Amino acid sequence: MKYKLTFLLLLTVNCLLAQDTVFARKMVDTLTSPCFWGRGYTKDGVHKAAAFLAGQFKTYGLKPMDDKNYLQEFSYPVNTFPGKMKVAINNVELRPGVDYIVSPDSKGVTGAGKLEQVDSTHFVDKENRVVLSLEDKLTWSVEGKVLDYTLIQMDKKSVKQTPASIQIDIENQLIPDYKTANICGIVKGTSKPDSVLVITAHYDHLGGMGGNTYFPGANDNASGVTQLLSLAKYYGAHPQRYSMAFICFSGEEAGLLGSKYFTDNPLIPLKNIRFLINLDLDGTGIEGLTIVNATVYPKEFAALKQINSQGNYLVKVNPRGKAANSDHYYFTEKGVPAFFIYTLGGIKAYHDVFDISKTLPLTEYADLFKLILKFNSSLMPKQRSALSAN
């Protein structure tokens, strides 16, 4: 009977993990789908993603952090490329996202001209104020301003001959007050609701470049949002002694703007946050993970590393110092202890059209989930009974 019960317990645990893995893949597939168009600034991508995530929070039983609305609205300027996106070099039309990208601070332009070589990697069409730059890798981003020229970054393998001519038709639109929102939910603590553990991840990505090309953002950062949703779903069903708060930030790709806005306009007192875990680039893990701020909070890092060793979760936990490279930064600048966790190994796609769900392995999704659960538990010491105190 003992062996039978053990077998049934293992079977149940394995089934739950399998269901969680199915959930994770479904979420990454959804967040990277054309419906959300790269969770950016054209085709309402980021707005659709915000509505979806707020709906998920409600489904899991999370309450709005301000008791009114899951959305914390704010705005900032952004340069967008909603329409025409055509470039031909030496009369060969290039594929947007694959063969070239337009620098995100470029102005729109329509014309044709000759390219003059400046150096081994740069060519200029002076008449149309276009610069062509040959690149080893295409990496896109977001900008809130527009320059007085257009920069085209081309994969150097896309054209065999030396670039001599260009035909170009690109549409841009600067939006000075683009409205977006952080998604904020909370599960109240059962015994110490004023002590809060926070899980964060940015849900915005780069959006689209033209009407037919978008950047899915699977590892960056559908992976982190999916892990956050998994934790929100768990804690919604299993309230803890401390309150568990969840924030999906917008504006990260534009310069950590969502997290800066939240820390300047907090919906919960920052002094009540016992610890914050920020999740970004968490879709791999074959080589372990890195903890930013590990050297800033050595006691918590030692606890996390011990929990990982005891559970045999990830092959390696690497310490890293302070870095302003994700949404944890503005919290620690205001005295909130925080880790930024990202995984290592596997795919190399980053800020390009190849960061897709199909090739995102989610290698250590389940182990990272368990590691965070155990670490959070270690941050919530059990209350001693009157009997044990004596």
- For residue range 209-228, list pLDDT tens digits in order: 999 999 999 999 999 999 99
Q: Residue length, the chain?
A: 390
Q: What percent of the chain has pLDDT over 90?
A: 92
Please report the pLDDT score of residue 384 as a whole number: 56
**102 with 154: CB under 8 angstroms?**
no
Fold of 16-79+176-378: Aminopeptidase (3.40.630)
**For the packed helices 2-31 and 45-59, what is the interaxial angle rounded to 10 degrees?**
150
CATH 3.40.630.10 intervals, the chain? 16-79+176-378
**Mean per-residue pLDDT of the chain:** 94
Environment class of 91 (CB within 10 Å of its CB; exposed 0-12, middle 13-18, buried 19+)? exposed
Query: Distances from the Cα of 240 to the Cαs of 145, 202, 210, 308, 321, in angstroms?
Result: 45, 24, 46, 21, 30
**209 with 97: CB under 8 angstroms?**
yes
Q: 150 Cβ partners below 8 Å, 6+ apart?
A: 102, 103, 106, 107, 108, 109, 128, 129, 130, 131, 168, 170
- Which helix (H) or strand (E) covers residue 45, if one does? helix 45-59
C-alpha span between 149 and 130 (Å, rounded)? 6
Residue 68 CB-half CA count within 13 A: 5
134-146 per-position pLDDT tens digit: 999 999 999 999 9
Task: Reply yes or no: is the peptide bond before residue 221 cis, omega within 30 of 0.
Answer: yes
Rg of the chain (C-alpha set): 23
pLDDT band at residue 7 under the 50/70/90 scheme: very low
pLDDT band at residue 383 under the 50/70/90 scheme: low
CA dihedral 101, 103, 106, 111 (to 10 degrees): -30
C-alpha span between 308 and 151 (Å, rounded)? 46
61-113 per-position pLDDT tens digit: 999 999 999 999 999 999 999 999 999 999 999 999 999 999 999 999 999 99
- CA 10 distance to own-chain centroid: 33
**For the packed helices 365-378 and 298-311, what is the interaxial angle rounded to 10 degrees?**
130
C-alpha span between 242 and 166 (Å, rounded)? 60
244-267 per-position pLDDT tens digit: 999 999 999 999 999 999 999 999
